[in-house]
Structure formats: structure tokens, C-alpha cells
Amino acid sequence: MNNGQLLLAINVGSSSLKINVWEVDGSQALVMLEARGIGAEHGTIAENNQVVARHAVADHEMALNELLQRVPDADRIACIGHRVVHGGSRYRSSVWLDDAVVEDLQSLVSLSPLHQPPALAVIRACRRRFPGVAQAAVFDTAFHATLPARAATYAITVAWRDAGVRRYGFHGIACADVVMQLGQELRERAIILHLGAGCSATAVLRGKSIDTTMGFTPLEGLVMATRGGDIDPGAVLYVQRELGLSPQEMERVLNQESGLLALSGASADMRDLLQSRDEQAVLAVEIFCYRAAKAVGALAVALGGLEQIIFSGGIGEHSAVVRARIGALLQGMALAIDDGANAAHAPIISSSSSAVELRVIAVDEGRQIALETIAMMADG
């Protein structure tokens, strides 16, 4: 590719859209654009982390159109990389998008109903708008393609397994960015504790994922903002039968009305809950931290030991209180937090006496999307 050409790294969330604009031969994003609150009464448009407009944004395609107006020299766009949450069993690495791939990804909507539909809407809009531009799908599941059978396989009937029901894992783009950032400083046995609106813990052995808390869909695992994580499937069947809920209603409740929101009865935002004295809010935070610490213990077994924990995601990066509470629950693993370093959000927050190094990392999924897309272009 020639110098001066641009790449768009597009990251679609359930109610957000981020576009990082890169020069293909550059080392950092030229412009970072973001729309938040998509579909809500109030939304924001930000450029380089500064809010530049406040108004309602009806849907992701409208958000895309508004953000693209702020892309400098749009005629220089040479390639586009899209984050896609679920790649199913077929897509174990990034792939160029064509009609057949888009149709395949449409068939996976039911596996990620919060993220896959808006991502596909943006992909289709970009393909219409830039018909001659190469576009790639970068999958959140790809980092976990290295899961061994003992971690990926559910104890279910062969017919279900043959239908593709297995643990796929998510937050893979974020995990890949953590591994890339740490480089030689990544310990042999590490756990990435990615805590945000979505939450997961991933066991990384010598740079490869060997187990993770999210499963067939992003519903499994830790307590999240509006997702409850692990739940007895018998309880789901019981509620559906007793209350007469449709599959669509069950899907809505499990994806959008559970987790911290359901526990607190008031907010899915950890910042609100930490400031509240309400008993339900206090319990919500306690459960959140307990489940995260419990997962670390389990994944330490998968790793055969533990040398490093990396906190990432909005909560993991910014909440010293949550990190401290999780650390306190893990003291039995000879782990100790330096309170001063933790309060200052230092890169390393473990004390000198800790047997496990504790780190805090700001993940940049846009960078990882860009790097993977650039690598694909270089490979032809």
C-alpha cells in the first residue's frame, strides 16, 4: 500500500460506535471518533475524547454517517477493519468481507444479539458507501481459538456439540492488545481480568488463551452491567415455563435486564453503585468482586500456578476500589496490593511482597483492529 492511505478501525458496541482513523504506515491513530448513547434519548459525539456534539442518535447507521463526516480526507481510505464479536466455529482468524461472509455472519446473530446486528448494519453501510475498499472482519473470538478441548467442550450430547455448541470466548481483541502491549513483560502464567460493561477473565499461558469465563455466547461467566453471567440453565427453563416467557423475552432479560442493574435495582454503572449506601447496591458490588476473584482462583488451577493479573476494561482500569476488593479476596494466594500505587492507577499496583504481579492496562481495541487489518493487507 502507498504512503498516505488511510485505514478505518471500526468498533461497534450495543449502543456505541468508535472509529479510529490511521495512516496505514503510521504508529498511532490520527483521529479517534465516537458516538455514545445510540438509540437513547440523549447521545454524544466525541472527537479525540472531547465531546463535540450532544443530540439523539437514532441508530448505528446514523452514527456512522455522522462520524464519517469528521474523517479527514475520506477519499484516501484504502481499507476498513471491523470488530465482529462472534465468529462461530468457522472463523478462527480475521477474514476479508464479501457477500458470502456477511451472510455467514448474519446466521450468527442469535449467538450475540446485542452486538452482531449493529455490527452487520455498519458493515453493510460501509460496503455500500465504499464499494471499492477492502474491508475485514476482526473477531473477538479469534484469540481463543487456542482453547484446548478440555476447556472448550461442554458436557452435552454429541448432537449439540456437532451443532457447534462449545465455549468460544470473547474480549479476544482486548486480550490480544494486552499481550501485544506487555511483550516480554507478560509472565508465563497470567490472567487478564477485563472488567467493563462486559466482563471476562482469561487464562493466558505463554501468550496463548487456554481458558476463559465467557462461553458459547457473551452471557456466560462473570457478573456484568446488564448480564448476570453464570446461572443454572435449569433456572432459565423454570422461569420460562412458569412465567410463560417467549425466547425473545428471555433473551432481553438475560442480556439487558440482569447483572448489576438487576442486583441494584437502580443502575448498571459501577461508579453509581460505589457511591451508593443502598443495601442492594452494596450487595451488587460485593457479588461482582466475589465472582471475579473466584474466577481468578479457578483459572490459576487451569494455568498450574499464577504469576500475573492484568486489570483492563473501564472498571478494571479506573476503579481502584474494585481492584482493591478483588485483591483482598485473593490474599490467600499470597497476593498483595500497594494501596498508594493502586489509588494512583499506576501501571504496576502489586506490593514488593506480592507473589503475583498486578498490572493495570488501558486497552486499545481500535489499535489491534488496525494492526490486524494492516497485516492482512501486507499478506495480500
For the annotated catalytic residues, the residue numbers are: 140
Q: Is the dihedral of CA 145, 149, 152, 157 positive or negative?
A: positive
Task: Please name the amino acid found at residue 28.
Answer: Q
For residue 83, what is the enclosing H or E element? Answer: strand 77-84
Spatial contact of 120 and 85, defined as CB atoms under 8 Å apart:
no
- Using alpha carbons only, give the angle 81, 87, 91 rounded to the nearest 5 degrees: 85
Give the DSSP H or E segment for 20. Answer: strand 16-23
What is the rounded CA–CA span in Å between residue 253 and residue 116?
A: 18
Cell numbers 500500500 correspond to 1
Output the nine-digit C-alpha cell for 96. Answer: 476479508
For 220-224, the CB contacts below 8 A with 24+ separation are 220/167, 221/295, 222/195, 222/288, 222/291, 222/292, 222/295, 223/199, 223/259, 223/260, 223/263, 223/284, 223/287, 223/288, 223/291, 223/292, 224/197, 224/198, 224/199, 224/259, 224/260
Q: Rounded to an integer, what is the distance from CA 253 to the centroid of its chain?
A: 20
Q: What is the dihedral of CA 299, 303, 305, 308, to 10 degrees?
A: -70
Task: List Cβ neighbours of 40 (8 Å cut-off, separation of 6 or more).
Answer: 15, 56
- Going by C-alpha positions, the residue among 53, 73, 68 that lies closest to residue 19 is 68
